[in-house]
Structures are given as structure tokens and as C-alpha cells.
Structure 1
Amino acid sequence: MTTLVPRQPYTDDELRKLYPAGLELQLVQVLMRHGERTPITGRFQNAGLSPFWPYCASLKQFKSAVLVDDQDPGVAGVGEGGGGAATKPMGTFEWNKRLETFGKNDEAVLATGKAGQLDSLCDMGMLTDPGRLTTLRLGQRLRKLYVDRLGYLPKTVGADDVDRLFQLRTTPVPRALESMQQAFTGLYPERENEKGQPLTIISRAMADETLFPNDYNCRRFAAVSRAFAQRAAERWNDTEELAYVTKKIGRWLPPNSPRVAVDGKPRLSGVMDTVNATLAHGPETRLPEEFYDKQSRRNIEKAALEEWFAGYLESVEYRALGIGSLMGDLTARMVAQAETHGTSGHNGLFRFGLSGCHDTTLAAVLSSLGHKMPNWPPFTSHMAVELFKKSAPDAAASSSSSSSGWTALLPSFLTGSPSSSIGRKPTPELTNGEKQKLAGYYVRIRYNDEVVSVPGCKPVGKHLDGDESFCTLEAFKAIVDKFTPRNWKEDCRANLDAPAIPSKPEPAGF
């Protein structure tokens, strides 16, 4: 499955079980994979696949901010003692993007689609029109759940409300940013005062990015992930499963790499990337039918899952360097909410987080919590990390699952980064008083609208009575603490010569 087929909306009975009356929903943090995109690299042109796909109408509608000079010609401007650009008025520049490529004899020519199209051609790894639609529809499903059915979010928001109630976050990769924008548009299609204060979207420099496993900027993680990838190659390259794949598509492989292999050319994951991207789009960008053989695709997926994600299941260091910093952030925000109990005016609390990220983000989080991925995350997959508070007996009627309770909760969530005295403090170092602040709070994870349980939360006392999917916040934090780095950048530079794979597995989710 490459394009996510959403499950049917929850029935009323399912909704009552998922959001029981005795629990108040306190905080929701959604991580979402971007929508359908083109392949990261052009492959299999010898099989008739065009490198340029005509599915990006957005390229005909670009608007860029430009500086407008409101002074007379000849008056000193920027760079001539005329003051900073920030004080200048801004305008927009509308433009249409076309792609250029190599032609015969290396001359520069405009790129064309398979049918000779010049416009709406996608670049490599670009969010396509189908990807924009599926992420928009994800936002609509989030609205149906959290606004219409639970009353957890208000029906309308202005720009000021967005910055107070929401945290919008994205990796620096354009397809992640654009997907998050599409999803938020589906969540709130019409915003009051939307021409006023623009929305705030948070991002990081690539060197600081932890919203996906950042092997580009973490040397130790790159070394560890290469070791697990090499182990996968040694386990899979000579198997009957990949020999079957070679039999199906070997004729289109390059002469110097005539068999399908985890570390082949192209890499096995690259083959999967192109096959999945073509399946998610129209007949104009399809490969020969041999590429879509179901057994062949399943064999490819099984090997790729081991190559990319087995390390999270087996190595504390892999978890820490790959996704530990992000998990520490998610958990610290929940702890900050518990510490303050949503105290009005507390700086840093928001109500709903929406982060545009990647397949490797979702699989890393789930695997690090002990969930073995059965399939590669489809385009527009998402996971919701939800924090609940046990209601006082006389407060059930004011549960946040009721729309009537919304306005009373509204002032509690302000902008900024959550401040927590114990969010990043390891659980063994917490005092009894600090642990008591976490009492009565529970964490639940849903992946593509299906509940995911954490194995370390199954023992008695570590989950809500009668439902193992609701992990106590203290137990959840204790699990995440074990792979939350104290200093990610320092750890990325450390132990470069140490063995990359632990001598025995270090199970995830405990």
C-alpha cells in the first residue's frame, strides 16, 4: 500500500471507548508524513518512465515576497545608509516555474513530460497534486474528530488563536512544509482574520533538525545506521526472496549491477521508492507490470524495513541518536502540561501540535516504542500522541471531550516553548513530589487511527485500569527517558570507533 486508505470514521461506540468519559483530553501532538511525491531520484528511464512528472500545478502559481522601495529614485537605500530592510514594505512577485535539463550534446533544454508538457512538471522528491489532496483530506478527518465529534478544538479560529492554541512545525524539506500547510487548511478551511497576522510555522536549520533521523548531521548515527544496513544486506542479498525480485525486474537493472540487492545500484530502498511513487499516481507514469508483482513488492518491503528500522528495535544508541531528541521533546511537553495542570497564563502550553515530517520519523517513533512495523508507512500516514487527565468525580460533565468545556480551557494555552522543570530530568532522579505531579495523566498513541500499545506499559500500575493502551505518563516518560540524549550534538560526535551493533539486542518499548 503506497497511498493510505483511511479506515471508516469511528462509530459512536468506538468513540466512547477511545475517549472515555472519565478522561479529559489535554494535549494532542500529531506527526504526519508528507503526501504523495515524485521519486527522490530519476530511475528506470530504460523501462519507459519519464523523469519529469506533470502532477505539480502549484508550480504555475508561485508567489514570492519581494522588497518594495517606497522612496524616490536616488534616495539612499539598503546598503547605502538607508536603514534596514525590515522597515521596508513587502510586495509579491508571481511567477511560473519551468524545469531545465540536459539535451543532446549536453546543451540546455527545457524539460518535458512524457506527452511533451512544459508546465506543471515536478522536480525530484516534490509533493504532487495528489499529495496535496490527500494531506488536505487528512486535515478534514482531524477536524471531523477533534472539532466536530469531540469538541476538543473550536469550530473557528483567527490568526491570533492559531499561534496561541497550536504549534505548527515542519522539517526544512519543502514537501513536509507544504503537506503540513495542506493539512492545516483541511483542519481550518476558513479562518477568521486570515488576512491579518500570518501563521507562525516553526522550523530548524538542517544541522539542528531532529524531526527525522538526521544521519546527514550526526556522524555517529550515520555510522550506526550504515552498520545495520550492511547487516541487512548480508542477511538478504543471497536469499530466495530477492532472487525472485531479480527474476521479475532484473532486465531493467544496470549491467554493472545485474541483481537486486539491499546495497545494489540502485539500492533496494530506491527501487521501492520509485515503485511506490508510480503506484500513487496516474497511468502516464507507470512502470512495466513486472514491477508491481505483489510477492516481489512484499519481499522488497520486508528487506527494506529491516535495513531502515531494525536498529530502533535492538539498540538504545540507535534510538537515542535517531529519534530520541524528538521523543524527549514530545514527552517534555506532556510533562509541562501535567506540572502546571493547564494553569492560566503559563507560558508555552499549546493545545494541538501538527508537525510535517517523513516516513522515517513515524517508523522510528513507533519502532522505538516497541512496535515492529508490518508495512512501510504509506504517504500521508500520521500518528497522534494524546495526553489525558483523569477527571475528578464531580468534573465529568466538564470533560474536554465536551464542546461546552472549550471556552473555559481556552486561556490556558499560550505561545512559546513549554517550560518544564522535570521534562528532561531522568525518571530515576525524580523526587516523590515530582512523580506525584505526573499522577492521573495518561498517554495514548494512535497510528493511522489504530491504537498502538507500548509493551512496557502492560504491567499492572503502568496503565489505566482495564485498558493497556493508556500508558501512565510516568511509565511512558520512564521508557522514553532511557533513549533521550542529554546532548544530542555531543553524542553525534562521540564513540566514532566503538562497535555499532550491540553484542545482544536491547529491546525497545521498555
Structure 2
Amino acid sequence: MVRAQGSNPAANSKYREPRAPLDVEGYPLAPADLELQQVHVYVRHGERTPVSVRMAEAPGNIPEHWLLCKEARRFRAAVAGSELPDQPSKLDVIRTTERSDGVAVRGECLLGELTDIGRASTYTYGRSLRKIYVEKLGFLPDVLGQSQDVYFRSTNMPRTVESLQQIIHGLYPMSKCESGVIHEVLIRNGREENLVGNTLACRRLETLLVNFAHAAASAYNPTLEPLDRKVSKYIGGNPIRLDGKPRASGVLDTVRAAMAHGIKIPPEFEERAVTSTIEKAVVNEWFSDKTEEVRRLGMGRLLADLSRKMQLKTQEGHNTSAERTPKILIHSTHDTALAGLANTLDVFDDRWPAFTASFTFELFRRNAQLGAETSSPRDALNVDPQVQHPQNSGILQTVLGSSPFRRKLAGEFFVRARYQNRNLMLPFCADEGKHLPGSPELCTLQAFAERVHELTPTDWDAECSVGS
């Protein structure tokens, strides 16, 4: 077969909404001399409806109303009025969506709501976590007791909270919990949230991101202009632009949400040359070429929390006064958090994260011969106490003074980062001595903590002040 001159098969191929279910069979085991100590999971919520109605009118014909929320509509609410102390009354409730014309339709989703497909995929994600960390590795217990082995946290959004509930049900359903165990889901107030770049509480970050968005529009709108002849008829005759009406990011959101649910979309958006061009422009608007300041204000506090909890885990068994930390910490968050983490760590693949995509950090310990003398407890921990966040500076000072570290070598610690089923080679761990020899994906905890320290604001409130 002779290919037509000038043809481009990639340009003519189909665009497909990416999927990233957790790969159990493909999970790579660490070297045999490493022992898993702690796992941090950041997972995007499951499939949802678009956050706004777009392209509903002909010829787009993407549904305005999505009848994909039939599950979890009936629930039992706690209400006041019980005659028994500490035991609120129960009220059976069915939640139903009412349209603006007063018509109520059971099973209809709200805008931006987790759908039945999203509930199923996040449950499957939790089941996959169980298969890896309970059944395959034996890292977590088969039956969850009253111990603090697990930590569950979500942003204060219904779709992330419900996604986390499904993940918990897959990982530890009540049949796999001892009597009396109640799963606790932690949620922070909006101004204290660090699972996303918090523009609500950080005006400086908001200003920087707005400026980047303007710059991206100037740079990438010309690349979108050739698409007008194909897609403008679906968005009210308007041009497709990063700062258009609707915004290109909103068009991409609707297209990918529809694809994820098997909803027919205009054929032009199935062309890779069209939708990949839109995705590239949107990704650059949101994430590319951000400064160190944006990384510090956006993801610095999240990474600082992660690093602190890893360092606390290294103390267990050697410092009896050390705070006990969970074995697995699961955070239900958003696409912007995953892409923000990847961009901050210089491993972003320039693709918008899929539903239930996840970023995982695993802490390993390489056991050394017990009884060996070590000249420095810092070497035993493999963490430099100078890289601690100022508010946590006392953590390692306590450890350095504890006698077990002066008598026995605790072992070396390594961090493995994984994103969408792939091990990541963190650039700041590439140099010799900053990763496990022969395993560049296993960053030393010291090198990891040093980079996190550089990304951690010393005074977040001050740095977030407008004009700081």
C-alpha cells in the first residue's frame, strides 16, 4: 500500500479519553532488600458530569441532562430530636434533582457530580489497592482493626468525598473490619486546604496563575485558530480560544466527560489533530512553564506534609515518643493536584490526568546489619535535619538525641514515586548518591526531603500576600 504524499496517520487517528485504572498485575516489586514502610496515595475522583452545560444545542447535541446518577440517591441522614443522648434520630431520604422548570427527575446528575460509572471505577480502584497492598504484598492487614494503619482525607467537594467512600469500601469493606471500626474521612476548611493549589487563601498564587493564563492565551490561541472551521459551529459560532466563550478548557472538559460515559460527541472532536491540539493548549494554560514561586505556593505545603510524615515513619521502633503514623494515607483530590505535583517534580507528561488517575509515593527501608556502629544518626535516617520545615524542626532534633540511633544502624530510606502506573525518575535524584544504585526510580529520602525543603514556603501567609 502506498501512502498518499503528505498524509499524516497520527493526525487522522482517533482521540481517546485516557483511562488509568490501577494496574495490579503490572505493579513492580521493589528490590528484595527493601521493605515497604509507608504509602501516600493522591487519586483523582471518578468520572463525573461536566461542570457546566456546553454544546447541548444542535448540532452539538451533547445532553444537557445526564441520567447517570441512580445509585447512592437513597440514604439515611442523622437528624436532631432523639430522646437518647449521643444517638441522633435517623431519617430516610431520597435525593432528587429538580430542574429550573420544577420538573424533578430521579437519577439525574447535578453538574460536576460523580456518576454511577465514577462510583464503580473508584470502588474498583479501592479493590485494586487491596489486591496490591493486602493480598500481593501483605503490607496491610487483611482485617482492619482499631489501629491507625489507615488515613483517609478528601477535599470538601461531594465528588471527591463520594469517590473516597467508594475507595474505602473497596479497600476495607465492613466485612473486613473488626467490630466497632468506623472509617473516618478527614476534610479541611477551604482556607486550610493544601490538596490543591489554594487560590482562595493565597492571593499571590491567584495573581500569578491569572497572569500565566493571559500569557498562555497569547501564545496558544494562534494554534487554535485553524480549528475554528471545524468546531465553532458547536460552540455557538464562537472561536475556540483559551479565553473564549466557552473557554477551551471547558470544551475539553465536556468532550472528555462525554467520552468517559460513552456519550456521542461531534465527530470532529474524535480527530486527534483537533482535540490533542486543544488539550496541548489547555495544559500549557494551566501547568506548563510555571515558576519556582508558583510551585512553592501551589504544591509546597502538600509535599511538606508528605515529607514530614515519611520522616516520622522512620522514627517508629527507635523513638518511643515518636508520633505514630499510618501505613497508608489516601487523599481524594482533583486533576489539578495530580498535574500540579507532576509539574512541580518535573515529571509531567503534558496530558490532562484521567479520571481515577493517581500519584503514589512509597517509602522503603533498606535494612542494614543491626549492631553496626554509625558515626552519625543523620546517616542512619538518611535525612538532613537542616531540610526540615521550620515548624517541624524539632522532629529530628528529638530523634538525634535518642540513644537507639547512637547504638544501631536504622537502615537507609528511599522514596519511589509512581504516576498512572509508571515509576518516575525524579530529575533531582539523578545524580550518583541520590538514588539506590541500579534503581534510579528509588530516590534517597534525603535527596527527596532536600528538594521538598526548597519547595516549602517558610512563611506561607507572608508569601501569599498580594505584592509580596
TM bucket, shorter chain: 0.7 to 0.9
Task: Report what 1:261 is aligned to.
Answer: 241
Task: Report what 1:282 is aligned to.
Answer: 262
| Distance in structure 1 (CA, Å) of the matches to 2:339 and 2:317 | 31
Kindly indicate whether the alpha-carbon contact (under 8 Å) linking 1:422 and 1:434 is maintained by their aligned counterparts in 2. Answer: no
Kindly state the Cα deviation for residue 273 of structure 1 after the two structures are TM-superposed. Answer: 0.4
| Distance in structure 1 (CA, Å) of the matches to 2:143 and 2:234 | 53
Q: 2:166 aligns with which of 162, 182, 188?
A: 182
Question: Closer, same or farther in 2 for the Cα pair 1:7/1:323, shift >3 Å?
Answer: closer
One-letter amino acid of the counterpart of residue 281, structure 2: A
Q: 1:424 aligns with which of 389, 392, 405?
A: 389
Kindly state the Cα deviation for residue 195 of structure 1 after the two structures are TM-superposed. Answer: 6.4
Kindly state the Cα deviation for residue 5 of structure 1 after the two structures are TM-superposed. Answer: 4.3
Kindly state the Cα deviation for residue 422 of structure 1 after the two structures are TM-superposed. Answer: 6.8
Kindly indicate whether the alpha-carbon contact (under 8 Å) linking 1:333 and 1:423 is maintained by their aligned counterparts in 2. Answer: no
Matched, 1:110 2:88: no
Kindly indicate whether the alpha-carbon contact (under 8 Å) linking 1:61 and 1:95 is maintained by their aligned counterparts in 2. Answer: yes
Counterparts in 2 of 1:285-304, with a 5 A limit? Answer: 286-304=264-282
Out of 55-64 and 193-202, give the one that drifted further.
Answer: 193-202
Q: 2:98 aligns with which of 97, 100, 123?
A: 100
Kindly state the Cα deviation for residue 95 of structure 1 after the two structures are TM-superposed. Answer: 1.4
Which string of whole-angstrom CA distances, capped at 9 and with x for unpartnered residues, describes residues 359-402 of structure 1? 1111111110111323111000011101111112579xxxxxxx
Matched, 1:6 2:60: no
Task: Report what 1:64 is aligned to.
Answer: 77
Matched, 1:24 2:35: yes
4+ long deviations beyond 6 Å: 426-431, 435-439
Task: Report what 1:82 is aligned to.
Answer: none
Kindly state the Cα deviation for residue 254 of structure 1 after the two structures are TM-superposed. Answer: 3.1
Kindly indicate whether the alpha-carbon contact (under 8 Å) linking 2:42 and 2:338 is maintained by their aligned counterparts in 1. Answer: yes
Kindly indicate whether the alpha-carbon contact (under 8 Å) linking 2:424 and 2:441 is maintained by their aligned counterparts in 1. Answer: yes
| Distance in structure 1 (CA, Å) of the matches to 2:311 and 2:260 | 39
One-letter amino acid of the counterpart of residue 323, structure 2: N
Q: 2:421 aligns with which of 449, 453, 458?
A: 449
| Distance in structure 1 (CA, Å) of the matches to 2:387 and 2:297 | 21
Kindly indicate whether the alpha-carbon contact (under 8 Å) linking 1:3 and 1:380 is maintained by their aligned counterparts in 2. Answer: no
Task: Report what 2:287 is aligned to.
Answer: 309
| Distance in structure 1 (CA, Å) of the matches to 2:38 and 2:142 | 17
Kindly state the Cα deviation for residue 346 of structure 1 after the two structures are TM-superposed. Answer: 3.5
Question: Closer, same or farther in 2 for the Cα pair 1:3/1:289, shift >3 Å?
Answer: same
Out of 290-299 and 433-442, give the one that drifted further.
Answer: 433-442
Kindly indicate whether the alpha-carbon contact (under 8 Å) linking 2:308 and 2:392 is maintained by their aligned counterparts in 1. Answer: no
Question: Closer, same or farther in 2 for the Cα pair 1:344/1:189, shift >3 Å?
Answer: farther
TM-score (norm 2): 0.85
| Distance in structure 1 (CA, Å) of the matches to 2:46 and 2:319 | 37
Matched, 1:138 2:125: yes
Which string of whole-angstrom CA distances, capped at 9 and with x for unpartnered residues, describes residues 2-27 of structure 1? 3524375446xx74xx3111111111
Which string of whole-angstrom CA distances, capped at 9 and with x for unpartnered residues, describes residues 316-360 of structure 1? 110011111101100111111224456567333111000100111
Question: Closer, same or farther in 2 for the Cα pair 1:477/1:31, shift >3 Å?
Answer: same
| Distance in structure 2 (CA, Å) of the matches to 1:192 and 1:6 | 23
SS at match of 1:249: helix
SS at match of 2:211: helix
Matched, 1:332 2:305: no
| Distance in structure 2 (CA, Å) of the matches to 1:142 and 1:197 | 19
SS at match of 1:213: coil
Question: Closer, same or farther in 2 for the Cα pair 1:482/1:426, shift >3 Å?
Answer: farther
Matched, 1:49 2:49: no
Counterparts in 2 of 1:224-263, with a 5 A limit? Answer: 224-239=208-223, 242-255=224-237, 258-263=238-243
SS at match of 2:99: strand
| Distance in structure 2 (CA, Å) of the matches to 1:480 and 1:493 | 22
Which string of whole-angstrom CA distances, capped at 9 and with x for unpartnered residues, describes residues 79-128 of structure 1? xxxxxxxx44212212112222333xxxxx225xxxxxx21110011000
Counterparts in 2 of 1:403-482, with a 5 A limit? Answer: 423-425=388-390, 440-482=412-454
| Distance in structure 2 (CA, Å) of the matches to 1:190 and 1:427 | 36
Task: Report what 1:37 is aligned to.
Answer: 48
Question: Closer, same or farther in 2 for the Cα pair 1:422/1:243, shift >3 Å?
Answer: closer
Structure 1 unaligned regions, length at least 5:
72-86, 104-108, 112-117, 396-419, 497-510
| Distance in structure 1 (CA, Å) of the matches to 2:310 and 2:165 | 24
| Distance in structure 1 (CA, Å) of the matches to 2:392 and 2:103 | 59
| Distance in structure 2 (CA, Å) of the matches to 1:69 and 1:277 | 43
| Distance in structure 2 (CA, Å) of the matches to 1:194 and 1:110 | 45
TM-score (norm 1): 0.78
Which string of whole-angstrom CA distances, capped at 9 and with x for unpartnered residues, describes residues 144-171 of structure 1? 111111111111113x23xx11111110
Kindly indicate whether the alpha-carbon contact (under 8 Å) linking 1:156 and 1:190 is maintained by their aligned counterparts in 2. Answer: no
Kindly indicate whether the alpha-carbon contact (under 8 Å) linking 1:38 and 1:122 is maintained by their aligned counterparts in 2. Answer: yes
Counterparts in 2 of 1:70-219, with a 5 A limit? Answer: 70=83, 87-103=85-101, 109-110=102-103, 118-158=105-145, 160-161=146-147, 164-192=148-176, 196-219=180-203
Task: Report what 2:252 is aligned to.
Answer: 272
Kindly state the Cα deviation for residue 494 of structure 1 after the two structures are TM-superposed. Answer: 4.2
